Amino acid sequence: MARWEPDARGRLMLAALALYTERGYEQTTVADIAQRAGVTERTFFRHFTDKREVLFDGSATLQSTVVAAIADAPSDALPLDVIGAAMERAAVSMQDRRDFARQRAAIIAATPSLHERELLKLATLSTAAATALQTRGVPPVPAALAAELGVAVFKVAFEQWISDSPDFPTCIRAALAELSALHRA
Amino acid sequence: MARWEPDARGRLMLAALALYTERGYEQTTVADIAQRAGVTERTFFRHFTDKREVLFDGSATLQSTVVAAIADAPSDALPLDVIGAAMERAAVSMQDRRDFARQRAAIIAATPSLHERELLKLATLSTAAATALQTRGVPPVPAALAAELGVAVFKVAFEQWISDSPDFPTCIRAALAELSALHRA
DNA sequence: GTCTATAGTCCGATAGAC
DNA sequence: GTCTATCGGACTATAGAC
Q: How far apart are CA A146 and CA A138, in angstroms?
A: 10
Q: Which residues, at least 6 apart from A1, have a Cβ–Cβ distance to it below 8 Å?
A: none
Verify that A70 and A142 share a domain, yes or no. Answer: yes
pLDDT over 90 at A1, yes or no: no
Can you give the pLDDT at residue A184? 86
The reply to whether B104 falls in a domain is yes
Can you give the pLDDT at residue A2? 64
Closest residue by Cα to the C1' atom of nucleotide D13?
B29
Of A3-12, A82-91, A139-148, B18-27, the one with minimum mean pLDDT is A3-12
Q: What is the mean pLDDT of residues A46-73?
A: 96
Can you give the pLDDT at residue B1? 60
Verify that B71 and B42 share a domain, yes or no. Answer: no
Statement: the CB of B49 is under 7 Å from strand D: yes
Verify that A36 and A117 share a domain, yes or no. Answer: no
Say how far A53 CA is from C2 C1', in Å.
Answer: 33
Set of chain A residues whose Cβ sits within 8 Å of the Cβ of B79: 182, 185
- Count the domains in chain B: 2
State whether A142 and B181 contact (CB < 8 Å).
yes
* Greatest Cα-to-Cα distance within chain A, rounded to the nearest angstrom: 67
Strand C-proximal protein residues, Cβ less than 7 Å: A 2-3, 28-31, 41-42, 45, 49-52; B 40-43
Verify that A120 and A34 share a domain, yes or no. Answer: no
Set of chain A residues whose Cβ sits within 8 Å of the Cβ of B59: none
Verify that A40 and A80 share a domain, yes or no. Answer: no
Please report the number of interchain residue pairs, chain A to chain B, with beta-carbon separation below 8 angstroms: 81
Say how far A185 CA is from C5 C1', in Å.
Answer: 56
Can you give the pLDDT at residue B109? 96
Can you give the pLDDT at residue A4? 76
Verify that A49 and A73 share a domain, yes or no. Answer: no
| Domain of residue B31, CATH code | 1.10.10.60
Q: What is the mean pLDDT of residues B48-77?
A: 97
Q: Which nucleotides of D are covered by protein (CB under 7 A)?
A: 5-9, 13-17
Verify that B50 and B21 share a domain, yes or no. Answer: yes
The reply to whether A3 falls in a domain is no
Verify that A65 and A138 share a domain, yes or no. Answer: yes
pLDDT over 60 at A70, yes or no: yes
pLDDT over 90 at B4, yes or no: no
Q: What is the mean pLDDT of residues A47-72?
A: 96
Set of chain B residues whose Cβ sits within 8 Å of the Cβ of A78: 185
Q: How far apart are CA B179 and CA B175, in angstroms?
A: 6
Given a contact cutoff of 8 angstroms between Cβ atoms, the answer to whether A19 and A107 are in contact is no
The reply to whether B3 falls in a domain is no
Q: What is the pLDDT of residues B6-49, one digit of tens each?
A: 889 999 999 999 999 999 999 999 999 999 999 999 999 999 99
Q: What is the mean pLDDT of residues A126-136?
A: 98
The reply to whether A136 falls in a domain is yes
A77 near B CB under 8 A:
no
pLDDT over 70 at A158, yes or no: yes
The reply to whether A20 falls in a domain is yes
For the entire predicted model, the pTM comes to 0.96
Given a contact cutoff of 8 angstroms between Cβ atoms, the answer to whether A149 and A179 are in contact is yes
Can you give the pLDDT at residue A120? 97
Verify that B36 and B113 share a domain, yes or no. Answer: no
Q: What is the pLDDT of residues B73-128, one digit of tens each?
A: 999 999 999 999 999 999 999 999 999 999 999 999 999 999 999 999 999 999 99
Closest residue by Cα to the C1' atom of nucleotide C16?
A3
pLDDT over 80 at A185, yes or no: no
Verify that A107 and A150 share a domain, yes or no. Answer: yes
Distance from CA of B169 to the nearest CA of A (A): 16
Q: What is the mean pLDDT of residues B53-66?
A: 97
The reply to whether B2 falls in a domain is no
pLDDT over 80 at A50, yes or no: yes
Distance from CA of A69 to the nearest CA of B (A): 19
Set of chain B residues whose Cβ sits within 8 Å of the Cβ of A148: 148, 152, 155-156
The reply to whether B115 falls in a domain is yes
Verify that B178 and B128 share a domain, yes or no. Answer: yes
List the domain range (segments joined by +) for residue B122.
59-184
pLDDT more than 90, % of chain A: 94
Verify that A19 and A66 share a domain, yes or no. Answer: no
The reply to whether B45 falls in a domain is yes
Q: How far apart are CA B177 and CA A170, in angstroms?
A: 29
| Domain of residue A65, CATH code | 1.10.357.10
Q: What is the mean pLDDT of residues B55-61?
A: 96
